[in-house]
Structure 1
Amino acid sequence: MSGIDLGPSISGALEAREAEGRARALRALLVRPVLRAQTDGELFRLARRHADALRAWFDRETGWRLAVESRTVRLLTSYVPHGATAIAVGERHPARARKGDPPFTRRRYVLLCLALAVLERSDPQISLGRLAEDVVLAARQPGLDGVAFTLAGREERADLVAAIRLLLAYGVLVRVAGDEESYVSAGGDALYDVDRRVLATMLSTTHGPGLVGTRLPSDPTIDQIEAALHEPPPAYTEEEATRRLRHAVTRRLLCDPVVYYDELPDDERAYLVGQRVQLTNRLAEATGLVPEMRAEGIALVDADDQLTDVRMPEQGTDGHVTLLLAEQLATGCHTDIASLRRRVRRLAKEHAAYWRKTTQEPGAENALVADALDRLVGLGLVRVTGAGPEAVVHPLPALRRFGVAAPTITTRRAR
């Protein structure tokens, strides 16, 4: 009686399980660049288990660094959008303290940076009130003349709390006692532990601010500072130049919902066109994303709908409005916003039984169109030029995937 060799099947099952674990950890890091043992449990353990493989993959494909600590795993990403579509997409994906919270404004971003600067020099424990006082003092330093914070009003305190909650989510701060809402109401306080290991990884740039500061003009713009922080060092060999191109293109594919060839620099476009099959195959294998390649560009589609904060299509009134407008715009016609508002007003009557009641109110179409266009621009599907009702919406090639053609009905011939 001959035995059955189960070795290959068991080995294959184990390899598949390991690959699935690496993909889950990699996808989790793309969604949340900081995984914590306290809040992310299984995903944190997977990232720690596959740390060597993940570190090698990110270094080879993107040039990003993976910092693994005993209680945190941090992916230090670095990406500056280039091109009209990528910039428009980036502008519509602001940070949020919590899901459903208002998006970060300029004031909140400045408060976040000031809070990080204060925490660098703070004690291991700090109260929210003390942190607020130090932020007010930091805002008075030379070079911040255009920034004024008193934190006396409820709105300003709410902005600071939004920055604090983002730091809580990243694990920079750990709440010991108290509550942020009581501080917003001007009657309470909160106490935090500062995790300096996580704090040290928050700044994610190619060059340190000290080095960049010596090469900037006396009054640099935000764009100049950002470009200098992320400017890659010179490549002295052909191999290094090719590596830089791979990093640049891969970052675009992972960070942007769609990459159009005509918006790429010549060297990146030539590299992507020549390597698109091999490159997208590697990304698909590692992330589970499905490459969609067309004549105009490439998009990596997430069939599991986990790697995006803006979904298309989406349930609900706003999602339905967006889908119906996308279907109209996918025909390739440029349309002004006033025309889209008139169409939504008609659609609100047709779908009155299914849409929320407020869509029947006068002027409701303005907010519906604005929300739909914000979603479509944020996904790289349309571009808007101009302002007000006369602004023109230009459909981009990727929008055609939402076009609906008239059905073709064929009759079956009798034999």
Structure 2
Amino acid sequence: MSTPLAEILDGQRDAELRRGARALLKRPLLLAHGGYADELRLVRRHATELREWFERNTGWGLQVDAESARLRKTPGRLDDASHPARETNRAQAPFTRRRYVLLCLALAALERGENQTALGRLADHIVQEASDPRLVAAGIEFTLERRDERLDLAAVVRLLLELGVLRRVAGDEQAYISGAGDALYDVERRVLAGLLATRRGPSTLAVASLDALTAESGLDTDELRFRAIRHHLTRRLLDDPVLYYDELSDTELAYLTKQRPFILARISELTGLVAEVRAEGIAMVDPSDDLTDVRMPEQGTHGHVTLLLAEHLAGARRPVLDADLRSRVRALAAEHAGFWSKSAKAPGAEAELVEQALVKLAALGLVDRTPEGAVARPALARYAVGATVVTEAAPRKVHQQ
């Protein structure tokens, strides 16, 4: 029997809606001239439904026009530093405090500047902004005369290029770093204006903290308070690798206990994520494995080290010291010498290998870092390897005819 046309069209619509929602979750700023142009068309086509879903379930606003779509995401947790901005090159080094400050100063300079700017001119504006007495008192100082400062500025500019705030017209950042030239950019003001995702503008606050910028106001009825809890829980389930029950308040846990089937069903229907519910918490698993910025397991030496340390930590009943983990990696390097990269087997390499592994495991909600080492979280148990048990097959009975 052939499928009725209405069912085919409904299936196509649902697939487009899901693809658009997943694109927004993966990259909350979609541009017509970027690599997500097809997804932007789907978001524009289903903008009303997507806007209503995100507003009702997460409190995130969705702004869509002919050139872009901006999902104004705010994180479920403001104290989670495990997913930093990163360089756009292969190293993908996390942004330092100085680079974050440079990013804010660059955005402020671009907002007040013209529609086109040179990197050198942008640097001059940043140096001027950095002379503010409040920044100086906080220990922030930029002269951009040193090479490492210019490298930081170049990393910030490359992030703005990736986000679509800037478009390179001529030159490149490397010429500026070496002092041999400059670079020229167009400023995409529409994209720039949509970057800030807050409920209140910083200029409206006496002290602009993250809590104040993102806080929901007017929660003076049970309905509004429950809505705020629903928003918080859905954000956590969409953003965090694992939502642990012990991280929730009593009120949040009680609400989740009653509303869990409905919350999980709505998320799964829109995104295709599959809920894995355990005694300690909930993980929304992605069968397609493309809605995360941190993957495990991964190929290569670093991926292998991370997987082996995860197994080691999962079998530990108490916190494991960094020194013990480094010793473990040294032993593993000898055991897997034929497979690991040459640099990973060099003396002293174990410190960097352990650090990179723990950063990834913490970002995935699998371990908690301590001043001396790390402690396993319940979700890490999936990487534990039990003892191998060999059972003998029962003797086969032979029936005589």
Which residue pairs with 2:312 in the alignment? 328
Deviates more, 1:104-113 or 1:333-342: 333-342
Which residue pairs with 1:161 in the alignment? 154
Shift of 1:119: 1.2
Deviations 1:154-213 (A, max 9, x none): 211111111111111122112222211111111211222212111111111121112222
| Distance in structure 2 (CA, Å) of the matches to 1:275 and 1:309 | 28
TM-score with structure 1 setting the length: 0.90
Shift of 1:151: 1.0
Which residue pairs with 1:175 in the alignment? 168
Shift of 1:277: 1.9
Which residue pairs with 1:220 in the alignment? none
Shift of 1:332: 4.2
| Distance in structure 2 (CA, Å) of the matches to 1:126 and 1:363 | 45
Correspondence for 1:81 among 77, 84, 91: 77
Deviations 1:47-87 (A, max 9, x none): 111111111111011000111122111111112526xxxx4
CA contact (8 A) 2:76 2:235 kept: no
Which residue pairs with 1:219 in the alignment? none
Which residue pairs with 1:292 in the alignment? 276
Corresponding position: 1:67 with 2:63: yes
Deviations 1:221-249 (A, max 9, x none): xxx71111111102122222111110011
Shift of 1:114: 0.8
What is the DSSP-based 3-state SS (H/G/I as helix, E as strand, rest coil) of the residue aligned with 2:374? strand
| Distance in structure 2 (CA, Å) of the matches to 1:226 and 1:186 | 37
| Distance in structure 2 (CA, Å) of the matches to 1:149 and 1:265 | 42
Which residue pairs with 1:277 in the alignment? 261
Q: Which amino acid aligns with 2:96?
A: T
Corresponding position: 1:92 with 2:78: no
Which residue pairs with 2:386 in the alignment? 405
Corresponding position: 1:203 with 2:188: no
CA contact (8 A) 1:96 1:104 kept: yes
Identity over aligned pairs, percent? 51
| Distance in structure 2 (CA, Å) of the matches to 1:358 and 1:148 | 35
What is the DSSP-based 3-state SS (H/G/I as helix, E as strand, rest coil) of the residue aligned with 1:38? coil
Which residue pairs with 2:10 in the alignment? 15
Paired residues, number: 391
Deviations 1:93-129 (A, max 9, x none): 2112415232211111111111111111111111111
What is the DSSP-based 3-state SS (H/G/I as helix, E as strand, rest coil) of the residue aligned with 1:74? strand
What is the DSSP-based 3-state SS (H/G/I as helix, E as strand, rest coil) of the residue aligned with 2:156? helix
Unaligned runs of 5+ in 1: 217-223
Q: Which amino acid aligns with 2:170?
A: A
| Distance in structure 1 (CA, Å) of the matches to 2:321 and 2:278 | 27
Which residue pairs with 2:179 in the alignment? 186
Q: Which has the higher contact order (CA 8 A, sep 6+)?
A: 1
| Distance in structure 2 (CA, Å) of the matches to 1:109 and 1:370 | 22
Which residue pairs with 2:26 in the alignment? 31
Q: Which amino acid aligns with 2:115?
A: P
| Distance in structure 1 (CA, Å) of the matches to 2:47 and 2:384 | 42
Q: Which amino acid aligns with 2:212?
A: A
| Distance in structure 2 (CA, Å) of the matches to 1:36 and 1:413 | 67
Correspondence for 1:47 among 43, 49, 54: 43
